[in-house]
């Protein structure tokens, strides 16, 4: 059997290595996901024309372009800063929730700076709840968006058979699909953050105990990146 102190060192080394790798991976994925969210929000390719549509064009959350029947040019309208230019109330509501979802993810990235000042476990859990809220907002936005397909502008492009939650001759484009996929991405990131936060609550298992003896070692103050060290005293009982 290994002495308790040596076993504690081995456990501590593995813990720091695994926590650092998972933490860095989670941060990289969160930043990448934030970029995806910005793209989903601004790109006007949620729905678009097909070979059977009367007009060419495409729609996003707030910006859209529709072709002219006499020319091949597209007429584009809509702005996130001008609600009056958005063709449907459902599109406005969807834009609001998707925008909040995007801001929450950006907010979780801002929270990375708290690792230098606060307990790592608490920061992970704050980010986890933020990402879970972002996922909820994205679900609401994606569910509300088809409610605006009965607007006159959409019908002009997709045909008169178009109605709420019925796209007529148009097709779903890549930005809408990416938005739906991002819901699962956000859930995975939040669950990973909850897992990382829970790992901070107990550094050593109860098995590493030596009766009547106190073992001391150092552990990272901020285990997510291995920066900063503080001493930690553990009393343990080693059971052969």
Residue 232 within any structural domain of the chain: no
In a domain? residue 125: yes
Residue with tokens 């990235």: 109
Question: Residue 59 to residues 10, 83, 103, 180, 212: CA-CA distances in angstroms?
Answer: 57, 15, 22, 16, 71
- Report if pTM > 0.75: yes
**234 in a domain, yes or no?**
no
Distances 227 to 115, 163, 216, 220, 223 between C-alpha atoms, Å: 10, 56, 19, 7, 7
The answer to whether position 59 is within a domain reads yes
List the CATH number of the domain containing 193: 1.20.140.150
> How many domains does the structure of the chain reveal?
1
Residue in 80, 51, 84 with CA at minimum distance from that of residue 63? 80
Place of tokens 């097709």: 171
Host domain of residue 77: 17-199
Per the domain annotation, does 222 fall within a domain? Answer: no
Question: What token pair was written down for 97?
Answer: 């929730």
| pLDDT tens-digit map of 122-158 | 888 999 999 999 999 999 999 999 999 999 999 989 9
Q: Determine the pLDDT at residue 189.
A: 94
pLDDT number for residue 83: 87
SS (H, E, C) 42-91: HCCCCEECCCCCCCCEEECCCCEEEECCCCCCEEEECECCEHHHCCCHHH
pLDDT at 171: 94
pLDDT at 182: 94
**Residues in the chain, total:** 240
β partners of residue 47: 59, 172
Residue 101 domain-assigned? yes
Return averaged pLDDT per consecutive 10 residues of the chain, 240 residues in all.
Answer: 64 68 89 95 94 89 86 84 90 96 95 86 90 96 95 90 91 96 94 83 46 42 44 39
Question: Can you read off the two tokens belonging to residue 73?
Answer: 């040019």
């Amino acid at each position: 059997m290994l002495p308790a102190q040596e076993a504690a060192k081995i456990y501590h080394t593995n813990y720091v290595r695994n926590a650092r790798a998972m933490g860095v991976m989670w941060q990289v994925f969160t930043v990448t996901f934030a970029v995806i969210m910005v793209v989903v929000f601004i790109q006007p390719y949620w729905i678009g024309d097909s070979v059977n549509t009367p007009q060419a064009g495409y729609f996003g959350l707030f910006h859209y372009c529709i072709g002219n029947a006499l020319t091949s040019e597209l007429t584009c309208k809509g702005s996130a800063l001008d609600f009056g230019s958005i063709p449907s109330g459902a599109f406005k509501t969807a834009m609001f929730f998707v925008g909040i979802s995007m801001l929450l993810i950006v907010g979780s990235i801002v929270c990375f700076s708290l690792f230098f000042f606060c307990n790592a476990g608490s920061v992970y859990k704050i980010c986890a709840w933020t990402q879970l809220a972002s996922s909820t907002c994205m679900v609401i936005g994606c569910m509300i968006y088809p409610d605006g397909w009965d607007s006159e502008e959409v019908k002009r492009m997709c045909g008169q058979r178009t109605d709420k939650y019925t796209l007529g001759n148009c097709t779903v484009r890549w930005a809408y699909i990416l938005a739906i996929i991002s819901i699962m991405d956000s859930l995975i990131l939040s669950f990973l953050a909850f897992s990382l936060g829970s790992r901070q609550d107990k550094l050593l298992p109860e098995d590493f105990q030596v009766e009547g003896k106190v073992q001391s070692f150092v552990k990272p103050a901020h285990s997510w990146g291995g920066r900063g060290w503080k001493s930690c005293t553990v009393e343990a009982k080693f059971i052969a």
